[in-house]
Structure 1
Amino acid sequence: MGVTVLCAALVIAALVMPNTVVDVGPAKFVRLPSEGIIAAAVALALPRRPRIVLASVFGVVLGALTLINALDMGFKQYLGRSFNAILDWSLLGDAESYLEDTMGRTATLAVSVGAVVLVLLLFVLLALATVRLSNLLARHPGRATRGTLIAGVVWITCSSFGVQLAGGVPLAADSTATTLEIKARQVKDTLHDEAEFQKVAKVDAFGNTPPDQLLTSLRGKDVVFTFIESYGRSAIEDPIEAPGVDNTLAVRTQALAKAGFHAKSGWLTSATYGGSSWLGHSTTMSGLWVSNQQRYRTVMASDHLSITKAFQKTGDFDTVGVMPGIQKGWPEQSYYGLDKVYNAFQLGYKGPKFSWSTMPDQYALQQFQDRVHSKKPADGKSRMSFVILTSSHQPWAPIPKMVPWDQLGDGSIFNAIQKAGNKASDVIADTTKSRQEYGKSVQYSVTALTEWLERYGNDNTVLVFLGDHQPIARVSGNHASRDVPISIVAKDPKVLDAIDSWNWTDGLRPAHNAPVWKMSAFRDKFLTAYGSTPHPKTN
């Protein structure tokens, strides 16, 4: 009897399981699932062999839906969207790499093996449970039929009158059917989106613009595009994170002003949330809404003009990328039009990793200075640089600290700082601490970048820096926007005069009511503001 009760509880829990962390609660698991009632009725009508086969299949399908619901929970918590059964399996490898960087190889291996075993066990247990319950129904057809009819009447009545449990949870549930419908629609929409987005990517307002009509206002400038990992609106407006970050932005605005630099700042709505930074990078640079991996692959294989490639296309700029987060081949270099790229292994770093981040931002920026910025390009060209900073990547422990710039050396100075920092496992498990440490990591990254500019920038330096996405929901909140700050900093007043019509806020901190654009709008606005003439390409 006890085993049968456990089987029933397991099946019902799987049938009514929510797909978001915030919805998990006792009321969600005491509802009456319509799918269970229908399955019982079908089982009562079938002979033994078909019944057992169907019950087994039902259990396996239920296991698959339970897995998808669990993945939905994780994706909504970390990426602000549901799991896409067509596109997102490849991201599980990235998740494993993140765990390895955060927890170590041994712990990650244990977690991975445990997850596989748990999934297999889930499928087996649900299949066995549904078969056992179907056999029980077959042994007591009279009582089972009456019980099924009563349950059906109760479900219809509760559904019709909207009967609810505590917290407004409907007693009559159809979660599994709803999940199947949503996922089927998602598959259809994904396949349709692939074809439609390929058409969109072929249309380019600047696709046929001659080189001498691109970025004419920035010729002779040293332009640096920098993404700060997870630098989102929450860092500036959240009550826990904002005080420290806002103070840093105010202090650094003043320091830059003393050095002759001035800034304007606004907001962009990112195409991603919590992770998948490359979607934010490509959306900003391409002017296309790159919101999933399929779109990303399409853009990377296209000739749709990126901002960075526009600089290369002029013939007047050397183009260089500094990517401390890249630890493998990066074929995207061609799409971005970068003549040279420095990855994590080409910056001479001998210090410790800081969780996922391969090196502190300050070190990466000094290497950018030594290897790129301090050297004049050949043939009298200007330079455009694309720099991706990583120190503010979750789990925000341990966090580097600023050290004297002339003591950075090969990065060994960070050994003691890394050892004295927080453990990732302690921060991950504590929401308040995660929010606090996230704010500190943004302060560090902004300080490192603006100190670099203050120390090494010149009259021709133009810095564009922004966030790639908001941090995960545990830090930014379950209903946070996808907005990220963006700033343009320069000494030459003509650079900021060119964007005066944008109505951005003076300084490094965008005002709450500063303009908010979709991230994909930035490319055309930037190209237009700095002297590019549209010559559309339509196929």
Structure 2
Amino acid sequence: MSAPKPWWQLVISISVLFIVLGLPHWPGNLSLLWFARLPLELPVLFLALVITHGTTQRGLGVVIAVTLGALTFLKIANLVTYTGFARPFNILVDPALVWVALSTASQSQGAMFGAGLVVAVLATITITFSSLWWATLTLASRCTPVFKGRGITLATLMLICAFALQDVKLTSAWWPVTSFETSKFAVERVASVAEGLRNDRRFREEMATSDVMAIPTDQRLARLKNIDVLLVFAESYGRVALDDPSQFTTLRATLQQFEIELSKKGFASRSAWLTSPTFGGQSWLAHGTFLSGLWLDDQGRYDSLFISNRDTVIGDFGKNGWRTVAVMPQITLDWPEADFFGYDKIYAAQDLNYQGQSFDYMTMPDQYTLAVLDKRELSPKDRRPIMAEIGLVSGHIPWAPLPLLIAWDEVGNGSVFDIARTPTVDVDWLNQAQLKQDYTRSMDYVLRTLLSFLLIEGRENIVMIIVGDHQPAPIVSGQSATHDVPIHIIASNPALLTAIDDWHWTVGMMPTDSSPIWRMDVMREKILSAFTPPTDVRMAQDSAQ
């Protein structure tokens, strides 16, 4: 080893290791008090460096630096995913989402911002590993043969004191004076990888099982014959929108008005709750779960779906006479998954031909999206019934600026929304109250737009399913919120909804605490069972036995 480093460098190196070992992996523990503890790993690492020397010591230094660097980034990744999605980082599948995050940032804030983010990430990685390597070398330089005896004594005393203090609490908090958090975190991450691999095997077995029902193709969904079915995924429409005291007054009033206006037009509705497989983002997991009847709660499961021969809701309708359409204004790049679902027509962002300015991440207003669907697919008279999967985006964070709801005959090519919008403002990410207000306004816009769409003159023979894809980000919904989202089924012919009487959903547009809560993956089977004549369902079940 080289000559011992000055004492000030030794202090800095110990501080670096102390901070890295003390860094929490959950946002709720980000406080100065969390760092007022002795990580037990520190004296252990010190002792390991003391009792080794030469090449072994240098090799150990490399292992320590690389291991702590990797654990540091896993902790940071955990902080990010907990903040954005209220869940830990999934080592097996989440690294693939880094590109998605960078693309979203570039789309929302501009290419220069995205490039700057890449540079910042690379710089952080370089600085972190370099700092840990330097800190380990500096500490090792003090562990000379002359210092060996004193070092062993010092490290041993630190460990004895640390274990003696392990039950001592900081003030009235539950945090002890010492911690072994980093080691426990490492063990948990290794265990999560093993569990993830087991889950993947179980999921592949689940996909290989027989599909929902072997109902004859020509009888499937016969109760909806000649009915247009619109499956609308409302971005970030979560239970918090109706349960949070700061929001439910506005949105419950909107839903009440929604119900009144539907009744005047002769429509009927039912509402309940679904448990989404995702939280705060990754909307495609909710779409895939609803359509496939499989629980797709991570990217690995989602990707596995596309190497299977699993049928989906899209195929259920498409094989029985419906023209299947995807209306996806959020899709701005290639969408290879679309081939698996087998839509007859796809309207991605560029296909919708919106000529107005975007709304931050939101490529276009929901009203424009629905206007294009109406003009190109619903208005023509000589056509097949339509089954459309629609992804609305006006509820996407940051919820400002927002479009204004205008007369449908004024929508045109969308350029009117350059003016028909709320003012652009700088988002204050630390102002939770303001973010909640912005979120509430965006949900109010989405619901009022859908109501206005249904009230268009001549709207008949239609069933609309409105479902939230996930709860809004934890910055609005909180870390302890459930994964529940509202779902509404609206029919122009009330008789159609008698098919779901045994679901015991709440009548109207306002789900209650007593409304059923189902996992989102049951909806495909529920829809098939309800809207297929009972005799055919029994025949299919008998043939499967």
Q: Same fold (TM over 0.5)?
A: yes
Verify the 8 A CA contact 1:244 1:443 in the aligned structure 2.
Answer: yes
Matches of residues 369-448 of structure 1 in structure 2 within 5 Å?
Answer: 369-376=374-381, 378=383, 381-418=384-421, 420-423=423-426, 426-448=427-449
2:524 aligns with 523
More displaced 10-residue stretch of structure 1: 455-464 or 190-199: 455-464
CA gap of 1:505–1:419, structure 2 versus 1, over 3 A, is closer
CA gap of 1:457–1:42, structure 2 versus 1, over 3 A, is farther
Verify the 8 A CA contact 2:37 2:179 in the aligned structure 1.
Answer: yes
Structure-2 separation of matches of 1:109 and 1:377: 49
Structure-2 separation of matches of 1:168 and 1:188: 31
2:453 aligns with 452
Deviations 1:182-204 (A, max 9, x none): 11111112222222111101224
Identity %: 31
More displaced 10-residue stretch of structure 1: 294-303 or 101-110: 101-110
Matches of residues 333-372 of structure 1 in structure 2 within 5 Å?
Answer: 333-372=338-377
1:501 aligns with 502
Verify the 8 A CA contact 2:402 2:422 in the aligned structure 1.
Answer: no
Verify the 8 A CA contact 1:27 1:166 in the aligned structure 2.
Answer: no
**1:211 aligned counterpart, secondary structure:** coil
CA gap of 1:55–1:377, structure 2 versus 1, over 3 A, is farther
Please state how far the C-alpha of 1:351 moved relative to its aligned partner. Answer: 0.4
Verify the 8 A CA contact 1:232 1:484 in the aligned structure 2.
Answer: yes
Instruction: Say whether residues 1:149 and 2:156 are aligned partners.
Output: yes
Verify the 8 A CA contact 1:16 1:28 in the aligned structure 2.
Answer: yes
Instruction: Say whether residues 1:236 and 2:236 are aligned partners.
Output: no
Matches of residues 315-334 of structure 1 in structure 2 within 5 Å?
Answer: 316-334=321-339
1:216 aligns with 222
1:35 aligns with 41
CA gap of 1:207–1:515, structure 2 versus 1, over 3 A, is closer
- Structure 2 segments unaligned to the other structure (5+ residues): 1-6
Structure-1 separation of matches of 2:290 and 2:140: 55
Please state how far the C-alpha of 1:417 moved relative to its aligned partner. Answer: 4.1
Structure-1 separation of matches of 2:295 and 2:236: 18
Instruction: Say whether residues 1:116 and 2:122 are aligned partners.
Output: yes
Deviations 1:340-392 (A, max 9, x none): 111100112110111111100000000110011112464xx322111110110
1:72 aligns with 78
Structure-2 separation of matches of 1:388 and 1:20: 32
Matches of residues 446-485 of structure 1 in structure 2 within 5 Å?
Answer: 446-455=447-456, 458-485=459-486
Please state how far the C-alpha of 1:207 moved relative to its aligned partner. Answer: 5.0
Instruction: Say whether residues 1:126 and 2:129 are aligned partners.
Output: no
**1:413 aligned counterpart, secondary structure:** helix
Verify the 8 A CA contact 2:325 2:346 in the aligned structure 1.
Answer: yes
2:3 aligns with none
Instruction: Say whether residues 1:106 and 2:112 are aligned partners.
Output: yes
Aligned length: 532
Structure-2 separation of matches of 1:6 and 1:66: 18
Verify the 8 A CA contact 2:221 2:528 in the aligned structure 1.
Answer: yes
Q: Root-mean-square deviation (CA), in Å?
A: 1.8
Please state how far the C-alpha of 1:170 moved relative to its aligned partner. Answer: 2.0
What is the letter of the counterpart of residue 8 of structure 2?
Answer: G
Structure-1 separation of matches of 2:266 and 2:489: 14
Instruction: Say whether residues 1:266 and 2:275 are aligned partners.
Output: no
1:277 aligns with 283
**1:197 aligned counterpart, secondary structure:** helix
Structure-1 separation of matches of 2:478 and 2:200: 31
CA gap of 1:245–1:470, structure 2 versus 1, over 3 A, is same
Verify the 8 A CA contact 1:56 1:128 in the aligned structure 2.
Answer: no
CA gap of 1:452–1:118, structure 2 versus 1, over 3 A, is same
- When normalised by structure 2's length, the TM-score is 0.94
- Structure 1 segments unaligned to the other structure (5+ residues): none
1:248 aligns with 254
Deviations 1:285-339 (A, max 9, x none): 111110011111111222222112100122x211111111111222222332311
CA gap of 1:64–1:529, structure 2 versus 1, over 3 A, is same
Instruction: Say whether residues 1:18 and 2:19 are aligned partners.
Output: no
Please state how far the C-alpha of 1:30 moved relative to its aligned partner. Answer: 2.1
Please state how far the C-alpha of 1:406 moved relative to its aligned partner. Answer: 1.2
Deviations 1:233-260 (A, max 9, x none): 0011112222221111111211122122
More displaced 10-residue stretch of structure 1: 511-520 or 454-463: 454-463
**2:419 aligned counterpart, secondary structure:** helix
Structure-1 separation of matches of 2:475 and 2:315: 36
Deviations 1:118-153 (A, max 9, x none): 121011001111111122233633332222111111
**2:89 aligned counterpart, secondary structure:** coil
Please state how far the C-alpha of 1:205 moved relative to its aligned partner. Answer: 4.4
Verify the 8 A CA contact 2:228 2:385 in the aligned structure 1.
Answer: yes
**1:510 aligned counterpart, secondary structure:** coil
Verify the 8 A CA contact 1:32 1:155 in the aligned structure 2.
Answer: yes
CA gap of 1:125–1:507, structure 2 versus 1, over 3 A, is same
**2:352 aligned counterpart, secondary structure:** coil
**1:342 aligned counterpart, secondary structure:** strand
What is the letter of the counterpart of residue 422 of structure 1?
Answer: V
Structure-2 separation of matches of 1:492 and 1:158: 70
More displaced 10-residue stretch of structure 1: 453-462 or 251-260: 453-462
Verify the 8 A CA contact 1:352 1:418 in the aligned structure 2.
Answer: no
